Amino acid sequence: MNLTDNKKEMLDLAEKLGMPASEFGDTLDLLRLNKIHIVDMLPEMLLMIRSVIAKETFAYKRKPIDAVKKGLLFSFQNIFNHSSDDHLKHNEEKSIHVRPHIRISPFHLESEVVFPKGATINQITILIELDFLQSFIGKDQETFGYIFNDEKTLLIEEFMSPEMADLVNKIAGIPELGILSEAYYKLKALELLYLLFKNLSKRQYIKHQSLRSDEVAALYRVRDAISNSIEKPLTQDELVQIGGMNMFKLRKLFTQIFGKGIYEYSQYLRMQEAAILMREKHLSVSETGYQLGFTNLSYFGRLFEQHHGMKPKKWSAQHRLKDK
């Protein structure tokens, strides 16, 4: 399928979901659609597999979806920098830190999707009808009651586990199937949802409340600021100023959306970045710790072990052997 056909398929899908082509403006011209494959199993489920590269960094605001009356949208997104210009790549990585993640939102909620310049985005989007999802969850659906309460303005973002990231890349990388293709994609979509709900089960004790759109926007500003300040964590005063709300409310709502407290979220990002610096940039343990703002390397080592299951020196040695 060529680029023109990919664009047409994307616009046809948008039209079906209640988003006419006129709402996109020139947005699609900023994306190179390497691949798009749509598996329509509505009213139960629709699966979109997409691989794109953004020519410029931009954000697209998705309008509410009216193809299914009650349902949820799950967007599994992997992002890979691939620029051949090392200086440009460095600047982009400094300005935008986007980790593989899943965003969950109800059909009626508008949401913003960011496409960083010079990055390949492998994305699997699952639109699923609420009753079908509840049937899939079965007797454990009470554990996830906050997801099925459509009276709340639900928005949840979860880091993608390596297992989920591998499955996303596998699904995105296979050629289009012929016979039994719907059965295959349905099974893989449910496998992704199974892995996701295993992670979400850890959130069952987080209290949820309705969120206004301005509160959601404020929390994403805070999230982005944290992501872009990995080497020098922000102070409470700075976070309060960015979020425009007091620290108690900010902590509560941040945990509701992202599943981690602000400090825990920041440290998770720093430890993920530490792994990247040692594996891909070949920095030593001490170089990595100092670059990420740690003055106490013993503390850095303990924190790394908590997140990765082994001391950084051993982790680095093992992964360098794997890469050879």
Average confidence (pLDDT) over 49-70: 80
Residue 253 CA, chain-centre distance (Å), reads 18
Block residue for tokens 């890349």: 169
SS3 call for 71 = strand
Average confidence (pLDDT) over 79-85: 48
Which has more pLDDT, 238 or 67?
238
Phi/psi at 227 (nearest 5 deg)?
-65, -30
Model confidence over 85-130: pLDDT tens digits?
443 344 344 434 557 899 998 887 777 777 888 888 888 999 999 9
Reported in sequence order, the residue ranges of 82-214 that DSSP labels E, i.e. its strands, are: 101-106, 111-115, 119-129, 156-159
What is the DSSP track for 5-62? HHHHHHHHHHHHTT--GGGTTTGGGGEEEEEEEEEEETTTEEEEEEEEEESS-EEEEE
Block residue for tokens 């981690």: 260
Residue-level pLDDT at 323: 63
Q: What's the predicted TM-score (pTM) here?
A: 0.82
For the domain with range 213-323, which CATH number is right: 1.10.10.60, 2.60.40.1180, 1.10.132.20, 1.20.120.80? 1.10.10.60
Which sequence spans correspond to the domains of the chain?
3-203, 213-323
Residue-level pLDDT at 86: 40
Region label for 68, one of left (φ > 0), alpha (ψ between -120 and 50) or beta (otherwise): beta
Residue-level pLDDT at 312: 95
Which has more pLDDT, 321 or 273?
273
The CATH fold assigned to 3-203 is: Jelly Rolls (2.60.120)
| Strands lying side by side in the sheet with 119-129 | 31-41, 45-54, 119-129, 71-81, 101-106, 156-159
Instruction: Kindly tell me if the per-residue pLDDT of 152 is higher than 60.
Output: no
Residue-level pLDDT at 61: 76
- Give me the long-range contacts of 25-28 (CB less than 8 A, separation at least 24): 27/58, 27/60
Its sign, for the CA torsion 289, 294, 296, 301, is negative
Which has more pLDDT, 88 or 67?
67
Block residue for tokens 């993608």: 160
Residue-level pLDDT at 260: 94
Instruction: Kindly tell me if the per-residue pLDDT of 27 is higher than 80.
Output: no
**50-54, 135-139, 217-221, 318-322: segment of lowest average pLDDT:** 318-322
Model confidence over 189-238: pLDDT tens digits?
999 999 999 999 988 788 888 888 889 889 999 999 999 999 999 999 99
Residue-level pLDDT at 80: 59
Residue-level pLDDT at 60: 77
Cα separation, 106 vs 124, in Å, equals 16
Instruction: Kindly tell me if the per-residue pLDDT of 57 is higher than 50.
Output: yes
CB 9 within 8 A of CB 36: yes
Could you give the percent of the chain with pLDDT greater than 90? 45
Phi/psi at 198 (nearest 5 deg)?
-60, -45
